[in-house]
A and B are shown apart, each in its own frame.
Chain A
């Protein structure tokens, strides 16, 4: 795979949320606002970059039968480092996300990338994969957080859009709203994917017709 294929695959085609439906706990837990989603995505990105990089570096050294505990130890170390750094330099955001930061360890998306990608690919490919996957994850978090914040509070990134008279739809702030909004987003993604596929098929047919005609 080329680097751009790796990126497309991680960001869209095999998107952690839209395609694999992994990492639901942080997704549903923190996305009450777009900003929370963004920072959760950044924290996940830092962890995934670190873990993919190190796992790829040591992939030939770690014996196969102890690789999972080794990977988890590496991931847990990075998560703790990110948590401490956030507590030190982004204290207010840490207070909001604090509960969900340690849970990044058990975000199966991260161990999944270590096992499925970083342990079998070069360091540079693994870094691209980490960037792509976490960018896709962050995109999904911001999208869901934005939808919930917009419908639930009439705000986006803390800015009021509809004025004071907007009646807050509180359900979207509550957990059921997360599931409902996610369902509609997934439906939208499937619609886009179908359109993309139709266009690709049509293009392929056109090419075949031209070739047959010549």
Chain B
């Protein structure tokens, strides 16, 4: 197939524009990759500090997976477990999914929760972010003993004026997190213990190596 001159010019123009655009995007991607990762880590760090009980470790560095869920453990200076946090997704928000970071104490009571991402209506559904009393109401609750529904459905949690779907979705997702902990508790605790043992072991090895030197 042979192009005439005009067709060659058209093809050339598009190819040059596309290659230049791709080049610029590639460079931008390289330049922003690190800062984006840092910003995301920073955001998660802030959220974790708010939902986890006081801890001495870097919860992100110590995170491990249980059943494809990334668990962030809180430990004191001696490695004793102080709590856990992980993110749950409420798929049934008013507009799209709501991501919630749930922080638990080892006994299975909620320490605090925090919404990390949502598209709910400002002024209505976004009470799940702004209404601190409502968020406070979750603290200390365990799976049994609370009615995990909004008041409109006969439960223990307030809905907001003009917004029922959003809090309903959050309450359901948090209940799911507690149920997950109840069923996976032993697995999670074992994983932390293993992690601590691994750390001790590597410290031990280091000492041995030093002796050999």
Q: How far does the alpha carbon of A111 sit from the alpha carbon of B117 in the complex, in Å?
A: 32
- B32 in contact with A84 (CB, 8 Å): yes
What residues of B have a CB within 8 angstroms of the CB of A16 in the complex? none
- A168 in contact with B123 (CB, 8 Å): yes
Of A6-14, A57-65, A198-206, the stretch lying at the interface with chain B is A57-65
Known contacts A87-B36, A173-B121: A76-B28 contact under CB 8 Å:
no
What residues of A have a CB within 8 angstroms of the CB of B123 in the complex? 32, 152-153, 168, 170, 173
Partner of B28, one of A69, A81, A92: A81
- A87 in contact with B39 (CB, 8 Å): yes
What residues of B have a CB within 8 angstroms of the CB of A84 in the complex? 28-29, 32, 36
The verdict on A95 contacting chain B, using a C-beta distance below 8 Å, is: yes
The verdict on B43 contacting chain A, using a C-beta distance below 8 Å, is: yes
What residues of A have a CB within 8 angstroms of the CB of B31 in the complex? 88
- B10 in contact with A63 (CB, 8 Å): yes
Of B11-19, B55-63, B71-79, B167-175, the stretch lying at the interface with chain A is B11-19
- A73 in contact with B21 (CB, 8 Å): yes
- A69 in contact with B14 (CB, 8 Å): yes
Q: Tell me how far the C-beta of B116 lies from the nearest C-beta in chain A, rounded to whole angstroms.
A: 9
B interface bracket (residues with beta carbon within 8 Å of A): 20 to 34
- A170 in contact with B17 (CB, 8 Å): no
The verdict on A189 contacting chain B, using a C-beta distance below 8 Å, is: no
A interface bracket (residues with beta carbon within 8 Å of B): 20 to 34
Partner of A80, one of B6, B25, B40, B162: B25
The verdict on A195 contacting chain B, using a C-beta distance below 8 Å, is: no
Within 8 A of B (CB), among A117-146: none
Chain B, Cβ-Cβ closest to A90 = B39
- A73 in contact with B162 (CB, 8 Å): no
- A91 in contact with B42 (CB, 8 Å): yes
Pairs A–B under 8 Å by Cβ, sample size 21: A32-B123, A33-B122, A63-B6, A63-B13, A66-B10, A66-B14, A70-B17, A73-B18, A77-B21, A77-B24, A81-B28, A84-B29, A84-B32, A84-B36, A89-B35, A99-B119, A153-B122, A170-B124, A170-B162, A173-B121, A173-B123
Known: A84-B29, A88-B35; 16 extra A-B contacts, CB below 8 A, are: A63-B6, A63-B9, A66-B10, A66-B14, A74-B21, A77-B20, A77-B24, A77-B25, A81-B24, A85-B32, A91-B39, A95-B117, A99-B119, A153-B122, A170-B124, A173-B123
